[in-house]
Amino acid sequence: MSIKIKPLLLGVNIDHVATLRQVRRSVYPSVSQAAMEVLKGGADYITIHLREDRRHIQDFDLVDLLKKGFDVNLEICPSEEMVDIAVNNKPKFCCLVPEKREELTTEGGLDLINNYNQVESAVASLSNAGISVSLFIEPRKEFINAAKSLKATYVELHTGNYANATNDSQSIELLKIKEAADYGRRNQLIVNAGHGLDYANVLSIARLISLSELNIGHAIVSRAVTVGLQTAVAEMKTLVER
């Protein structure tokens, strides 16, 4: 008897549409219009990261997207302020990520061991509000065990080390992700992955059958500058489904 494998979903992070807008403190490009174009291109949902420093996505973007009926995966750090914003707005999904003011982008996964109590409080508050919670973690068993203990529904494996590696080092990082994804699935977690994935490196990740979803942003928005968002998303969706 053959095993039916569910299609791999694609979430598209549109933070950098807001980055372009914020450079001039303008009203364009429109984040909600970008969201519509992304879905037309074949994405399964929209991901945005509302940072404490508000360097790209703003509070009104979240409100506007939800008001217009978009399924939003909201990335936030597990601070009291950001959790309160999520609870008050109730996106469908919320992914807790680490955050540092000086970083260019998220540099790694949450340390669930040393920040257990803070994350536990955030997960409880979000879950009580009816929000499905994901934890962005390094592909390591101890973090998957902690995520299970914290009663998260999802984990998202950090693929940045894989994306930045080359040759044999990349194969080693890919194996870590595969083993972590398999382990998470055996422990009844829904396992997603993302960070640094692009049109060249996504295929090996997309072949991992224990993964449910990929979150990709910068590469798609960058490609969209020359071919448009619909086409850029459609090209990535084709690679993910291949």
CATH of residue 167: 3.20.20.70
Q: Return the beta strands (E) in 19-114 as ranges.
A: 45-49, 72-76, 93-96
For the cut 70, the answer to whether the pLDDT of residue 103 exceeds it is no
For the cut 90, the answer to whether the pLDDT of residue 3 exceeds it is no
Query: Which candidate, 203, 137, 142, 143, places its Cα nearest to that of 170?
Result: 203
Which range (50-64, 65-79, 96-110, 221-235) has the least confidence? 96-110
56 is catalytic: no
For the cut 60, the answer to whether the pLDDT of residue 1 exceeds it is no
Domain-located, residue 103? yes
Domain-located, residue 235? yes
Domain-located, residue 172? yes
Which range (91-100, 121-130, 192-201, 207-216) has the least confidence? 91-100
195 is catalytic: yes
Domain-located, residue 1? no
Query: Which candidate, 99, 27, 96, places its Cα nearest to that of 64?
Result: 27
Domain-located, residue 105? yes
Question: Which of 37, 56, 75, 213 is labelled catalytic?
Answer: 75
Question: Which of 16, 56, 158, 195 is labelled catalytic?
Answer: 195
Distance separating alpha carbons of residues 218 and 25, to the nearest angstrom? 20
pTM over 0.85: yes
Domain-located, residue 228? yes
Domain-located, residue 2? no
Residue 197 structural domain: 9-241
Distance separating alpha carbons of residues 226 and 214, to the nearest angstrom? 23
Count of domains in the chain? 1
> What pLDDT is recorded for position 167?
86
> Which residues, in sequence order, are bridge partners of residue 156?
136, 192
Q: Which residues of 181-199 are buried (b: 16+ CB within 10 A; e: fewer)?
A: bebbbeeebbbbbbbbbeb
Distance separating alpha carbons of residues 235 and 14, to the nearest angstrom? 16
Considering all CA atoms of the chain, what is the largest pairwise distance in Å, rounded to the nearest integer? 58
Question: Which of 16, 49, 56, 158 is labelled catalytic?
Answer: 49
Domain-located, residue 140? yes
Distance separating alpha carbons of residues 220 and 194, to the nearest angstrom? 13
75 is catalytic: yes
